Amino acid sequence: MFEPLVISDLPRRFADLPFKPFRDGVDIHYMKQGTPAVALLRYAPGARVPMHRHTGLETILVLEGAQSDERGTYPEGSFVLNPEGSAHSVWSDTGCVVLIQWERTVEILE
């Protein structure tokens, strides 16, 4: 169990949060580690995450910029649900920040 976490005005607080490298060009700030996990991902322009399969529900809210996958591009304010068993790669041409929740870990396919 974890303590409640409240961050007021999250989009204006990105610069204040400690991010660490996650993948090439993608940094992470964990808000809750474990299962499920909740984090902020910050993509540099052109960064990508390789093809992966979800072993549980993934929930994404695009807070800044735009994120893309094989189905399309999701601008700021987009809410994306990727169900268990779905697979995709993810990238951002312009850079973005997303709030993400993984029900369970993902399986990298490439």
Model pTM score:
0.88
Distance CA(62)–CA(22), nearest Å, equals 18
Mean pLDDT (the chain, rounded): 90
Q: Is the pLDDT at 109 greater than 80, yes or no? A: yes
All domains of the chain in start order, with CATH: 17-105 (2.60.120.10)
- Residue 41: CB atoms within 10 A of its CB come to 23
Q: Are 67 and 98 in contact (CB under 8 A)?
A: yes
Residues in the chain: 110
- The model's pLDDT over 14-59, given as tens digits with 9 standing for 90+, comes to 777 899 999 999 999 998 988 899 999 999 999 999 999 999 999 9
